[in-house]
Amino acid sequence: MATTKGSSGVVKLAVSGGSATAMGEVRSFTLSESADTIEDSVMGDTARTYVASLSTASLSMDVYWDDADAVQLVMDTKADLDWELYPTGSGTGEKYYSGSGILTSKEITAAFDGMVEGSFEIQVSGGITEATA
């Protein structure tokens, strides 16, 4: 099984309907997906049974804050965003994930002995598409 360094990853974002552009200074990202289940056990069953229900997802990013990065500057809470996530880089043949969502969290932090940093979280709205660049 092959492994890949995380340093090749790319996050592209745009205000809904715009052209997605790479966000600068990305340090890390996480795409989290989960699904609800509904119990459908009945009398006579000897174990509980379930069926799949609705799914949900979120995308979070940590960056070094760059007030000259146009993509970071559109990251306002409640913004409708389109996103593309390239875990292993955005070259030809690379797998990526895309979708849309709402920016639900934005944090800018600084310390006297550190960098100014930003954290963003997007609540994915609808499904996630998996494709190859």
pLDDT, tens digit (0-9, with 9 covering 90-100), for 3-52: 888 899 999 999 988 899 999 999 999 999 999 999 999 999 999 999 99
Per-residue model confidence (pLDDT) at position 10:
96
Q: How confident is the model at residue 2 (pLDDT cuts 50, 70, 90)?
A: confident
pLDDT, tens digit (0-9, with 9 covering 90-100), for 91-108: 999 999 999 999 999 999
- Give the list of residues 6+ apart from residue 112 with CB closer than 8 angstroms, or none: none
The answer to whether the CB of 72 falls within 8 A of the CB of 59 is: no
Question: Tokens 């913004």 map to which residue?
Answer: 79
